[in-house]
Structure 1
Amino acid sequence: MTQSGYVAIVGRPNVGKSTLMNRILGQKLSITSRKPQTTRHQIIGIWSEGEQQVVYVDTPGLHSEQHRAINRVMNQAARSSLHDVDAVIFVVDARRWTEEDERVLEQLETVNKPVILLVNKVDLVPDKEELFPLLEKLAAKREFHELVPASARKGRNTERLTELVAELMPESEFHFDAEQLTDRPVKFLFAEMIREKVMRITGQELPYSSAVEIEAWDESEPGLIRIAAALLVERTGQKAILIGHKGNLLKEIGTQARLDMEKLMGCKVFLQLWVKVKSNWCDDERALRSLGYRENE
């Protein structure tokens, strides 16, 4: 009999949830950067092996700042992932426990499914002897199904995690085709690839008020996809940052995103980018919906 079920990956921003899912899948699906709140949408990654299938749900980091509409939508997307799943992976950073971690833990109080605590980034703890008192302290916070110290970036103990998760899946037919990686369309993945490069290349110079909108898509030529995409910002000054001196920054964003797209699709991609100013899109509910932000994903 086959086993299949859903697992939510939750935690505060920047603890490595997306890196973990990419590691489990063996392929880059969720975008990553050093900036917190890089993940804005729920993204599912489908792991299938033999008679088992696990549908991982990567979520935006639960955070306290909700003064803008986009923050509220992201928090709601993360909370909604806790419903109707068969297990939860709660990811924390081995280097520190914060008030936001505590708030995520409070959200888990109503979850009556197994919760695995993944203590991530153990490779970044200089003195490994410090891990033991930390693990004891974390284990006392609630009854976890299991506590797993790991490094998603280096793949340490992630195989143990996948084994634990697979054991928790109920007997069921597969929810998706065994060859399927995600339920998101390629256009969504491409837009996310572009946004990742914006987050990485601009560093701290550009705030989070940027988004990507695919405006044109043409696959009429064999072996070639032509794409036109707009980068949305809220102010004219942000537009200048994204374009860079003589357009160099925008060109670099496009080049790096195109290479990722070609790797994913196995064909040539022609990518055209430009920057648009759309004032206060982060607080515009209609604009958020048009960009794919849904409160009950």
Structure 2
Amino acid sequence: MTDTTPAFRSGFVALVGRPNAGKSTLVNACMGEKIAITSPVAQTTRRRMRAVVNTEASQLVIIDTPGLHKPKDALGSELNKAALAELADADVVAFLVDATKPVGTGDAWVASHVAKADADYKLLVVTKADIAGPQKVAEQLEAARGLATFDDELVISAKEGFNVDAFLQLVSAHLPEGPKWFPDDMDTDTTDEDLVAEFVREKLFLNLRQELPHSVGVLCDQIEYADDGHASIRATILVEREGQKGIVVGRGGQMVKKVGTEARHDIEKLLGCKVFLELRVRVEPQWRRNANIIQRLGYGEQE
């Protein structure tokens, strides 16, 4: 008798695209839980995050990257560098195109880097099909096809779960044969401290919208577990000017309190325990131009 058991496949899948193309939403849909923050604000993702999806026959390490864009400061340059670095080692590259926005020069620039990547399999993914409608999706597919040579294409709605399983199956089938890179109980390589900081930053983005989100950074200073099982957490919100600090704090401290309450719900799900969350707001002038602070925040290229 011959062994007909399929070989185990494993590898790294880089999601790339312009800001707000739906990369983080797709990661969460693949995981079946929230580990990546999302918001309507462009450039929400600042950290490279690896999410691990295990099946009986494969292990996918899905890499959520910052949206590629024309940088305006050191932070933007570091985000681009971090995203492009992931293309170098990826076994599969998924190029995400937003079905609700015209394909333009930004997409063409990202596609030029996808074309140069050494990945064995390149997949064109048109996202947000639930919003765009069939005709618009078809137009986006046609426009995106001309940007680079792709091995396959897929239309998805991560928010509605449409074709998410198909995405996982398609990508898994094109991973190389290999071992598991991460243990079964590990769903991300991001630390609890980094996830706490991200959840706080997400709530700032959602509550402040365009008012000052890109001037905001978050550091988780400490997580302490008490004997009764609860966690005490301190985090610092960085802004660049005193006026911005007033906006984040809000009248009578109402805004920072609201952000803390909303973030605490996600953090308690993450840690599986009751959480006491203390948020402080600190002015750090022009921190987005300070390479040391950018690295401390974990927004630069990572090993």
2-structure distance, mates of 1:248, 1:133? 45
Match runs of 1:46-125 below 5 Å: 46-64=52-70, 66-95=71-100, 96-113=102-119, 114-125=121-132
1-structure distance, mates of 2:77, 2:237? 22
1-structure distance, mates of 2:147, 2:183? 38
Residue 265 of structure 2 aligns to which amino acid in structure 1?
L
User: Is this contact kept in 2: 1:233–1:277, CA < 8 A?
Assistant: yes
User: Is this contact kept in 2: 1:76–1:296, CA < 8 A?
Assistant: no
Which residue among 193, 199, 203 is the counterpart of 2:205? 199
The Cα offsets for residues 106-150 of structure 1, whole Å up to 9 and x where unpaired, read as 111211321111100111124x23433442333343321111111
- Does residue 20 (structure 1) correspond to residue 29 (structure 2)? The answer is no
Identity across matched positions, percent: 38
- Does residue 226 (structure 1) correspond to residue 210 (structure 2)? The answer is no
1-structure distance, mates of 2:240, 2:14? 32
What is the CA-CA distance between 1:85 and the residue it aligns to?
Answer: 1.1
Indicate the residue corresponding to 1:8 in structure 2. Answer: 14
The Cα offsets for residues 238-283 of structure 1, whole Å up to 9 and x where unpaired, read as 0000011111110000000001011122110000111100111111
> Normalising by the residue count of structure 1, what TM-score does the alignment of the two structures yield?
0.96
User: Is this contact kept in 1: 2:99–2:136, CA < 8 A?
Assistant: no
Residue 130 of structure 2 aligns to which amino acid in structure 1?
D
- Does residue 259 (structure 1) correspond to residue 268 (structure 2)? The answer is no
2-structure distance, mates of 1:204, 1:234? 15
Residue 123 of structure 1 aligns to which amino acid in structure 2?
D
Residue 173 of structure 2 aligns to which amino acid in structure 1?
E
Residue 125 of structure 1 aligns to which amino acid in structure 2?
A
For structure 1, list consecutive stretches of 5 or more residues without a partner in the other structure: none
User: Is this contact kept in 2: 1:35–1:199, CA < 8 A?
Assistant: yes
2-structure distance, mates of 1:141, 1:228? 46
Q: CA RMSD in A?
A: 1.3
2-structure distance, mates of 1:207, 1:30? 17
User: Is this contact kept in 1: 2:126–2:140, CA < 8 A?
Assistant: no
SS in 2 for 1:13: coil
What is the CA-CA distance between 1:217 and the residue it aligns to?
Answer: 2.1
The Cα offsets for residues 216-252 of structure 1, whole Å up to 9 and x where unpaired, read as 3211323200011111000000000001111111000
Greater mean alpha carbon deviation, residues 79-88 or residues 104-113: 104-113
> Normalising by the residue count of structure 2, what TM-score does the alignment of the two structures yield?
0.94
User: Is this contact kept in 1: 2:103–2:143, CA < 8 A?
Assistant: no
SS in 1 for 2:88: coil
Q: Would the alpha carbon gap of residues 136 and 216 (structure 1) be closer, same or farther in structure 2, given more than 3 Å must change?
A: closer
Q: Would the alpha carbon gap of residues 134 and 274 (structure 1) be closer, same or farther in structure 2, given more than 3 Å must change?
A: closer
Residue 96 of structure 2 aligns to which amino acid in structure 1?
V
SS in 2 for 1:76: helix
Which residue among 158, 164, 168 is the counterpart of 1:162? 168
User: Is this contact kept in 1: 2:15–2:93, CA < 8 A?
Assistant: yes
Residue 174 of structure 1 aligns to which amino acid in structure 2?
K
Match runs of 1:23-42 below 5 Å: 23-42=29-48
SS in 2 for 1:82: helix
For structure 2, list consecutive stretches of 5 or more residues without a partner in the other structure: 1-6
> How many residues are paired up?
295
The Cα offsets for residues 39-64 of structure 1, whole Å up to 9 and x where unpaired, read as 00100000001131000000000001
- Does residue 139 (structure 1) correspond to residue 145 (structure 2)? The answer is yes
Runs of 4+ in 1 over 6 A off after TM superposition: none
2-structure distance, mates of 1:266, 1:289? 29
User: Is this contact kept in 1: 2:88–2:118, CA < 8 A?
Assistant: no
2-structure distance, mates of 1:132, 1:218? 51
